[in-house]
Amino acid sequence: MSGDAVPPELDRKLGELAALAAAVEPGVMRADLATLERRTTALLSEEHTLLSSLQSLPTHWRVGVVLTLSAAATIGALVLRPRADLVGYPALRMAGTLVLMFAITAAASARLLRPLHLPPPSRALGHVLLVAGAFVPALLALIPSHAGAPAGAGAELALGCGRCLLFGALLALPVLVVSFALRRARVDGAAVGALAGVAAGLTGNLALQVHCAINDSVHLLLGHVLLLFIAIGAAWLWRRHEATS
Protein backbone atom coordinates (compact mmCIF):
# COMPACT_ATOMS: atom_id res chain seq x y z
CA MET A 1 0.00 0.00 0.00
CA SER A 2 1.28 3.43 -0.73
CA GLY A 3 -0.80 5.80 1.36
CA ASP A 4 -0.50 9.58 1.05
CA ALA A 5 1.40 9.73 4.32
CA VAL A 6 4.23 7.49 3.06
CA PRO A 7 7.32 9.31 1.76
CA PRO A 8 8.30 7.87 -1.69
CA GLU A 9 11.71 6.57 -0.65
CA LEU A 10 10.24 4.81 2.37
CA ASP A 11 7.44 3.47 0.23
CA ARG A 12 10.04 1.84 -2.01
CA LYS A 13 11.91 0.34 0.94
CA LEU A 14 8.71 -1.02 2.47
CA GLY A 15 7.75 -2.43 -0.90
CA GLU A 16 11.06 -4.28 -1.02
CA LEU A 17 10.46 -5.62 2.46
CA ALA A 18 6.99 -6.83 1.53
CA ALA A 19 8.40 -8.56 -1.56
CA LEU A 20 11.09 -10.21 0.54
CA ALA A 21 8.52 -11.30 3.12
CA ALA A 22 6.28 -12.74 0.40
CA ALA A 23 9.25 -14.59 -1.01
CA VAL A 24 10.28 -16.18 2.24
CA GLU A 25 7.00 -16.85 3.96
CA PRO A 26 4.85 -19.23 1.85
CA GLY A 27 6.90 -22.36 2.50
CA VAL A 28 6.96 -21.68 6.21
CA MET A 29 3.30 -20.79 6.36
CA ARG A 30 2.00 -24.03 4.92
CA ALA A 31 3.79 -26.17 7.46
CA ASP A 32 3.03 -23.82 10.33
CA LEU A 33 -0.61 -23.41 9.43
CA ALA A 34 -1.21 -27.15 9.37
CA THR A 35 0.26 -27.46 12.87
CA LEU A 36 -1.55 -24.38 14.04
CA GLU A 37 -4.89 -25.62 12.74
CA ARG A 38 -4.44 -28.96 14.52
CA ARG A 39 -3.56 -27.23 17.78
CA THR A 40 -6.44 -24.76 17.50
CA THR A 41 -8.93 -27.53 16.72
CA ALA A 42 -7.67 -29.47 19.75
CA LEU A 43 -8.03 -26.36 21.91
CA LEU A 44 -11.58 -25.71 20.73
CA SER A 45 -12.57 -29.33 21.29
CA GLU A 46 -12.05 -28.69 25.02
CA GLU A 47 -14.57 -25.84 24.98
CA HIS A 48 -17.54 -27.96 26.04
CA THR A 49 -17.44 -27.53 29.81
CA LEU A 50 -19.95 -25.53 31.85
CA LEU A 51 -17.27 -22.95 32.54
CA SER A 52 -16.42 -22.42 28.87
CA SER A 53 -20.14 -22.16 28.09
CA LEU A 54 -20.46 -19.41 30.69
CA GLN A 55 -17.41 -17.62 29.30
CA SER A 56 -18.95 -17.78 25.83
CA LEU A 57 -22.11 -15.98 26.92
CA PRO A 58 -22.58 -12.51 25.42
CA THR A 59 -20.79 -9.90 27.49
CA HIS A 60 -23.94 -8.19 28.79
CA TRP A 61 -25.12 -11.57 30.08
CA ARG A 62 -21.82 -12.22 31.83
CA VAL A 63 -21.96 -8.83 33.52
CA GLY A 64 -25.62 -9.56 34.25
CA VAL A 65 -24.72 -12.78 36.05
CA VAL A 66 -22.38 -10.89 38.42
CA LEU A 67 -24.93 -8.15 39.04
CA THR A 68 -27.71 -10.67 39.59
CA LEU A 69 -25.60 -12.38 42.25
CA SER A 70 -24.89 -9.02 43.85
CA ALA A 71 -28.55 -7.98 43.79
CA ALA A 72 -29.65 -11.40 45.06
CA ALA A 73 -27.29 -11.10 48.04
CA THR A 74 -28.67 -7.65 48.89
CA ILE A 75 -32.32 -8.59 48.44
CA GLY A 76 -31.76 -11.84 50.34
CA ALA A 77 -30.27 -9.94 53.28
CA LEU A 78 -33.08 -7.39 53.13
CA VAL A 79 -35.81 -10.02 53.11
CA LEU A 80 -34.30 -12.59 55.48
CA ARG A 81 -32.19 -10.47 57.86
CA PRO A 82 -33.29 -6.81 57.57
CA ARG A 83 -31.71 -4.18 59.79
CA ALA A 84 -33.67 -3.42 62.94
CA ASP A 85 -33.92 0.31 62.18
CA LEU A 86 -34.98 -0.10 58.56
CA VAL A 87 -38.21 1.88 58.99
CA GLY A 88 -36.46 4.78 60.74
CA TYR A 89 -33.40 4.92 58.45
CA PRO A 90 -33.45 7.99 56.11
CA ALA A 91 -34.90 6.65 52.85
CA LEU A 92 -32.93 9.03 50.64
CA ARG A 93 -29.63 8.10 52.22
CA MET A 94 -30.45 4.40 51.97
CA ALA A 95 -31.43 4.70 48.30
CA GLY A 96 -28.42 6.88 47.46
CA THR A 97 -25.99 4.51 49.17
CA LEU A 98 -27.42 1.43 47.48
CA VAL A 99 -27.55 3.04 44.02
CA LEU A 100 -24.02 4.41 44.27
CA MET A 101 -22.49 1.15 45.45
CA PHE A 102 -24.42 -0.89 42.90
CA ALA A 103 -23.39 1.49 40.09
CA ILE A 104 -19.71 1.09 41.00
CA THR A 105 -20.19 -2.69 41.16
CA ALA A 106 -21.68 -2.61 37.66
CA ALA A 107 -18.89 -0.44 36.26
CA ALA A 108 -16.20 -2.60 37.90
CA SER A 109 -17.75 -5.80 36.51
CA ALA A 110 -18.10 -4.32 33.04
CA ARG A 111 -14.45 -3.28 33.03
CA LEU A 112 -13.27 -6.63 34.39
CA LEU A 113 -15.31 -8.59 31.82
CA ARG A 114 -14.63 -6.25 28.91
CA PRO A 115 -14.26 -8.39 25.78
CA LEU A 116 -11.05 -8.41 23.78
CA HIS A 117 -12.71 -7.38 20.54
CA LEU A 118 -13.12 -3.87 21.96
CA PRO A 119 -10.18 -1.47 22.00
CA PRO A 120 -8.51 -1.16 25.38
CA PRO A 121 -9.97 1.66 27.49
CA SER A 122 -7.82 4.21 29.22
CA ARG A 123 -5.57 2.62 31.82
CA ALA A 124 -6.77 5.25 34.27
CA LEU A 125 -10.30 3.87 34.18
CA GLY A 126 -9.32 0.74 36.09
CA HIS A 127 -7.51 2.80 38.72
CA VAL A 128 -10.39 5.27 39.06
CA LEU A 129 -12.87 2.44 39.61
CA LEU A 130 -10.54 0.81 42.10
CA VAL A 131 -10.18 4.00 44.11
CA ALA A 132 -13.90 4.79 43.88
CA GLY A 133 -14.83 1.28 44.93
CA ALA A 134 -12.49 1.37 47.90
CA PHE A 135 -13.08 4.89 49.18
CA VAL A 136 -16.71 5.81 48.40
CA PRO A 137 -18.03 3.41 51.07
CA ALA A 138 -15.38 4.76 53.46
CA LEU A 139 -16.55 8.33 52.86
CA LEU A 140 -20.18 7.30 53.30
CA ALA A 141 -19.27 5.64 56.60
CA LEU A 142 -17.82 8.91 57.87
CA ILE A 143 -20.99 10.91 57.18
CA PRO A 144 -22.87 11.13 60.49
CA SER A 145 -26.23 9.38 60.62
CA HIS A 146 -28.92 8.88 63.25
CA ALA A 147 -28.00 6.81 66.27
CA GLY A 148 -28.55 3.17 65.44
CA ALA A 149 -27.77 0.10 67.49
CA PRO A 150 -24.80 0.56 69.85
CA ALA A 151 -21.42 -0.51 68.47
CA GLY A 152 -19.99 -1.15 71.93
CA ALA A 153 -16.32 -0.93 72.79
CA GLY A 154 -13.33 -3.23 73.14
CA ALA A 155 -14.21 -6.89 72.75
CA GLU A 156 -17.84 -6.10 72.05
CA LEU A 157 -16.86 -3.78 69.18
CA ALA A 158 -14.43 -6.37 67.80
CA LEU A 159 -17.04 -9.10 68.02
CA GLY A 160 -19.62 -6.96 66.20
CA CYS A 161 -17.12 -6.07 63.48
CA GLY A 162 -16.08 -9.71 63.15
CA ARG A 163 -19.67 -10.82 62.69
CA CYS A 164 -20.28 -8.24 59.98
CA LEU A 165 -17.02 -9.14 58.23
CA LEU A 166 -17.97 -12.82 58.23
CA PHE A 167 -21.54 -12.12 57.04
CA GLY A 168 -20.31 -9.85 54.24
CA ALA A 169 -17.48 -12.21 53.25
CA LEU A 170 -19.89 -15.14 52.86
CA LEU A 171 -21.94 -13.10 50.39
CA ALA A 172 -18.91 -11.57 48.67
CA LEU A 173 -17.07 -14.82 48.01
CA PRO A 174 -19.41 -16.16 45.27
CA VAL A 175 -19.19 -12.82 43.44
CA LEU A 176 -15.39 -12.92 43.59
CA VAL A 177 -15.21 -16.48 42.25
CA VAL A 178 -17.81 -15.94 39.52
CA SER A 179 -16.26 -12.64 38.41
CA PHE A 180 -12.92 -14.32 37.82
CA ALA A 181 -14.49 -17.40 36.26
CA LEU A 182 -16.45 -15.40 33.68
CA ARG A 183 -13.38 -13.75 32.19
CA ARG A 184 -12.55 -15.11 28.77
CA ALA A 185 -8.80 -14.56 29.04
CA ARG A 186 -6.27 -13.82 31.74
CA VAL A 187 -5.46 -10.39 30.43
CA ASP A 188 -5.23 -6.95 32.04
CA GLY A 189 -3.06 -5.94 34.93
CA ALA A 190 -3.39 -6.28 38.68
CA ALA A 191 -5.51 -3.12 38.99
CA VAL A 192 -8.18 -4.46 36.66
CA GLY A 193 -7.98 -7.89 38.29
CA ALA A 194 -8.56 -6.21 41.64
CA LEU A 195 -11.90 -4.94 40.32
CA ALA A 196 -13.24 -8.44 41.00
CA GLY A 197 -12.50 -7.59 44.63
CA VAL A 198 -14.34 -4.28 44.29
CA ALA A 199 -17.43 -6.04 42.93
CA ALA A 200 -17.26 -8.69 45.65
CA GLY A 201 -16.49 -6.28 48.50
CA LEU A 202 -19.26 -3.91 47.45
CA THR A 203 -21.70 -6.83 47.31
CA GLY A 204 -20.81 -7.58 50.92
CA ASN A 205 -21.28 -3.90 51.79
CA LEU A 206 -24.62 -3.70 49.99
CA ALA A 207 -25.88 -6.66 52.00
CA LEU A 208 -24.52 -5.19 55.24
CA GLN A 209 -26.13 -1.84 54.45
CA VAL A 210 -29.58 -3.44 54.59
CA HIS A 211 -28.70 -5.89 57.36
CA CYS A 212 -26.63 -4.15 60.03
CA ALA A 213 -28.28 -1.52 62.21
CA ILE A 214 -25.06 -0.13 63.68
CA ASN A 215 -24.32 3.36 62.32
CA ASP A 216 -21.19 4.07 64.30
CA SER A 217 -18.36 5.12 61.99
CA VAL A 218 -15.73 2.96 63.69
CA HIS A 219 -17.92 -0.12 63.31
CA LEU A 220 -18.71 0.77 59.69
CA LEU A 221 -15.03 1.21 58.85
CA LEU A 222 -13.78 -1.91 60.64
CA GLY A 223 -16.73 -4.21 60.03
CA HIS A 224 -17.94 -3.15 56.59
CA VAL A 225 -15.37 -1.12 54.65
CA LEU A 226 -12.48 -3.34 55.75
CA LEU A 227 -14.19 -6.16 53.88
CA LEU A 228 -13.65 -4.22 50.66
CA PHE A 229 -9.92 -3.94 51.23
CA ILE A 230 -9.71 -7.63 52.12
CA ALA A 231 -11.61 -8.55 48.94
CA ILE A 232 -9.44 -6.26 46.80
CA GLY A 233 -6.32 -7.76 48.37
CA ALA A 234 -7.58 -11.29 47.71
CA ALA A 235 -8.36 -10.44 44.09
CA TRP A 236 -4.97 -8.80 43.63
CA LEU A 237 -3.22 -11.90 45.02
CA TRP A 238 -5.33 -14.15 42.82
CA ARG A 239 -4.44 -12.15 39.72
CA ARG A 240 -0.80 -12.11 40.70
CA HIS A 241 -0.84 -15.88 41.15
CA GLU A 242 -2.40 -16.24 37.70
CA ALA A 243 0.24 -14.01 36.14
CA THR A 244 3.11 -16.01 37.61
CA SER A 245 1.65 -19.49 37.13
Among 75, 116, 131, 158, which residue interacts with other proteins (rule: CB under 8 A)? 116
218 binds other proteins (CB under 8 A): no
115 binds other proteins (CB under 8 A): yes
Span of 14-22, 63-71, 141-149, 196-204 interacting with other proteins by CB under 8 A:
14-22
Among 88, 162, 189, 233, which residue interacts with other proteins (rule: CB under 8 A)? 189
CB 155, min distance to other proteins, A: 47
The secondary element (H helix, E strand) that includes residue 190 is: helix 190-193
51 binds other proteins (CB under 8 A): no
Q: How far apart are CA 114 and CA 110, in angstroms?
A: 6
Q: Are 195 and 235 in contact (CB under 8 A)?
A: yes
Closest CA to 186 of 109, 243, 232: 243
Q: Is the dihedral of CA 49, 200, 230, 86 positive or negative?
A: negative
Residues 43-59 as b or e (16 or more Cβ within 10 Å = b): eeeeeeeeeeeebeeee
21 binds other proteins (CB under 8 A): yes
40 binds other proteins (CB under 8 A): yes
Largest CA distance in the chain: 80
121 binds other proteins (CB under 8 A): yes
45 binds other proteins (CB under 8 A): no
58 binds other proteins (CB under 8 A): yes
Q: Are 200 and 101 in contact (CB under 8 A)?
A: no
Contacts with other proteins, residue ranges (CB under 8 A): 1, 3, 5-7, 9-10, 13-14, 16-18, 20-21, 23-25, 27-29, 32-33, 35-37, 39-40, 43-44, 47, 52, 55-59, 115-121, 184-185, 187-189, 243
